[in-house]
Amino acid sequence: MSNITLHTLTARKQAGEKFAVLTAYDATFAHLVSSAGIEMILVGDSLGMVLQGQSSTLPVTVDEMAYHTASVARGNQSAMIMSDLPFMSYSTPEQAMDNSAKLMQAGAHIVKLEGGDWLCDSVRMLAERGVPVCPHLGLTPQAVNKLGGYRVQGRDRQSALKMIEDAKKLEDAGASMLLLECVPTLLAEEITRNVEIPVIGIGAGHHTDAQVLVMHDMLGITPGRRPKFVKDFMTEADSIEQAFRLYGDQVRAGTFPGPEHGFE
């Protein structure tokens, strides 16, 4: 199997072909996810909650992200690896550069940062120095205290227009991808249509170029209430690897997410 690259995924968007993204945090699951044909692995700061038992992503450190990125890289077969820059690790372009270098040296192929147009200088600096960047718009979990909880973003016209504007500015600054979390389906469709780079969605409807889920959520093993945008793929599978394959197949076919997984 050929390695999935940024060129591969950009070509998928241009061809109207969707791709799948799934989290993994260690070598064993990275091997299973990539062997199942999932195009991209996200080493998410969600590890703070699903691995460490934290109440949010805020306590996760750069060193922890680098450790888990290196573990994933050792188990990965062919997927592209995206790693999160954690809370307060990219407050300035210089800080973003230093910490992105740590994640790239650990095995990441692209880094993800949360925020809007204030990230443009950092995105530009990273892109100019050969670091692909995926800004994360909408519900940004690192800003959960400012947002007042885990709420759908972009429902009013003013905030929707701001998100569309931010997406274009970030693309112009050199972003290689975008991730939209918990935004109305029609807004996600508009952003996806108005940028040339791939757009990954989670709780953003079925019009985005790709979907991402937290592995523990789609396997049905996360304690507590399941978010609206999650589907338990183990109910249709006989093994974890089959669940991963079903997820990838349904994302590519456009049957997941369904209308029940999105927001108006």
> For the residues of 182-232, what is the DSSP string, one character each?
S--HHHHHHHHHH-SS-EEEESS-S-SSEEEE-HHHHTT-S-SPPPTT---
Look at the chain and count its residues: 264
**What CATH number labels 6-261?**
3.20.20.60
Residue with tokens 């993800």: 112
Task: Give the per-residue pLDDT at 147.
Answer: 65
The predicted structure's pLDDT at residue 37: 97
Q: What is the pLDDT of residue 143?
A: 77
Residue 148, pLDDT above cutoff 70: no
Q: What is the pLDDT of residue 205?
A: 97
User: Average pLDDT over the chain, rounded to whole?
Assistant: 96
The label of the residue with tokens 């991402």 reads 212
Angle between helices 62-75 and 93-106 (to 10 degrees): 30
Which tokens sit at 164? 């569309």
In eight-state DSSP terms, residue 206 is S
Model pLDDT for residues 87-139, shown as the tens digit of each residue: 999 999 999 999 999 999 999 999 999 999 999 999 999 999 999 999 999 99
Instruction: Give the separation between CA 182 and CA 202, rounded to whole angstroms.
Output: 6
- From residue 203, give the alpha-carbon distance in Å to each of 90, 164, 172: 25, 17, 25
Query: Residue 197 — very low, low, confident or very high, per pLDDT cuts 50/70/90?
Result: very high
pLDDT score at 194: 96
Question: Would you call 240 exposed, middle or buried from its count of C-beta atoms within 10 A (0-12, 13-18, 19+)?
Answer: middle
**Is 112 annotated as a binding-site member?**
yes
pLDDT digits (tens, 9 = 90+) for 18-51: 999 999 999 999 999 999 999 999 999 999 999 9
Is 172 a known ligand-binding residue?
no
Q: Is 64 annotated as a binding residue?
A: no
- Domain spans in the chain, listed from the N-terminal domain onward: 6-261
The CB-side HSE value for 196 (13 A sphere, CA atoms) comes to 6
8 Å CB contact between 109 and 6? yes
Active site residues: 181
Give the pLDDT confidence of 46-66 residue by residue, as tens digits.
Answer: 999 999 999 999 999 999 999
Residue 115 gets the label, from left (phi > 0), alpha (psi -120 to 50) or beta, of left
